Amino acid sequence: MYAQAAAAQASSQAVAYRPPVTTALMGINVGVFALMVLSGVSFFSPSVGDLLKWGANNGALSLGTQPWRMLTSTYVHGGIVHIALNMWCLWNLGKLAERIFDRWTYVLVYTACGIGGSIASLWWHPTVVGVGASGAIFGLAGALIAALYLGRLPVPKRAMQGTLRSLVMFAIYNIVFGTAVPGIDNSAHVGGLITGLAVGAALAPHLTSPLDVRHAWRNWVLIGAALVLSGAFVAVKKAKGYVTPLQSASEAFDRGEYDQAIANSQDVVKHAPDNASAHAVLGASYLQKKQFDKAEQSLKRALELKPRYAFAEYWLGVLYESTDRHEEARKVLSDLVEQQPKLGGGLVLLGYVLEQEHRSDEAIQMYRRAAEADPKDPDAQRRWGNALLKLDKAAEALPHLEEAQKLDTKDADTELSLGKAYAALGRNEEAGNAFKAAKELSSGTDKP
């Protein structure tokens, strides 16, 4: 993001001064980032949870009960590189903006463009978490383009053409850049730019009018912008509002409230029948209720809509294994671990399926990969140990079972397997203790 520098420099060289509005906006952005870091948020790459905590934009929340996130997200950034680039752009564009707009016009244009970018982001990908000032900054560029082109400002034609050229190149270059680089929210850029062009064009006729006329016209323009943005938000909420019950469905599934997950997922499917996530959560919830036919139908529909969808493939693999369709389970899980080779749960499940097909060596390889992918997963260690135990390799099995016991001290199956391993090695006292622990855990009499 480099082309914007020339746009400001041409107009700022004559009089050097510190632009107060730009300085204040930058101060707020930097202040929020500093508070995030001081609270423990990563300096380079904040987590999604941290961004949401600090006010990020996300359809499940912004289109629900927290629409204020469309504004707060414009002051939240995803790391030092992100904020540094945005603040550099804001500084250079802001110096020019303060020479064309009065202070309140500048602030309100910037705010309207930031909200316009957030609304566009919610329309384009409502399930994505969005942060950053770039929508507002693109909007500022759009407002400047429209004002310079339509405003009949007392600026020499040559200087005007050079500044306009730099602003247009800034917008084009960064939109192309945003299209080419993953992780950049180009929809917010475009939404902010369009908002800025529209607001700038509306303001342009009275930029050189007497102060009272200019302020009155500005108020009407910004009231109109607020009404348009409100209408756009209502339209987006109507079209994309399904993300709120989808989020509720996912959360209910994670809590084990499968009836609620089914009800919420069905609500999403009713309004957005081509939403793969809704079909996947619905299928997984049906599976937990042992409604296998409905589960299979929903999971297969999710994969039709979104091929190689990891969540749907995993639960379809579980379904096939639960209904003793080992070959089908192996095929879908093999595809899953091929696309996500470090997905511990998928590797463990594939290993179990291979065991059912008496392919013990391949199963052990899957368990090894699962343990390497997630060293904290007791299930991978336990199944690895059990697979070795079945091959009469108690000495090899024991370290994995002991590791599983360390990772999860309340698992009866692990204690039972430990008892078998100790007994096979002639360590009878330890075997007896393990069997006793397994019995206590199974009967719920273990003491914390």
CA angle 150, 155, 157 (to 5 degrees): 80
CB atoms closer than 10 angstroms to residue 403: 18
Domain ranges for the chain, please list them: 4-240, 243-400
Percent of the chain predicted with pLDDT > 70: 95
Does the pLDDT of residue 237 top 70, yes or no?
Answer: yes
Side-chain-side CA neighbours of residue 251 (13 Å): 7
pLDDT value at residue 164: 87
What is the identity of the amino acid at 416?
Answer: L
| Residue with the larger pLDDT of the pair 5 and 83 | 83
Please determine whether the domains at 4-240 and 243-400 fall in the same fold group of CATH. no
pLDDT value at residue 16: 54
Under 8 Å between Cβ of 104 and 157: no
Interval 132-165: pLDDT, tens: 999 999 999 999 999 999 998 887 777 778 888 9
Into which CATH architecture does domain 243-400 fall?
Alpha Horseshoe (1.25)
pLDDT value at residue 17: 60
Interval 97-113 mean pLDDT: 96
Question: Domain 4-240, what fold?
Answer: Rhomboid-like fold (1.20.1540)
The pTM is what? 0.74
User: Which residues does residue 57 pair with via DSSP β-bridges, in sequence order?
Assistant: 130
Of 10-14, 327-331, 419-423, the one with minimum mean pLDDT is 10-14
Interval 100-129 mean pLDDT: 96
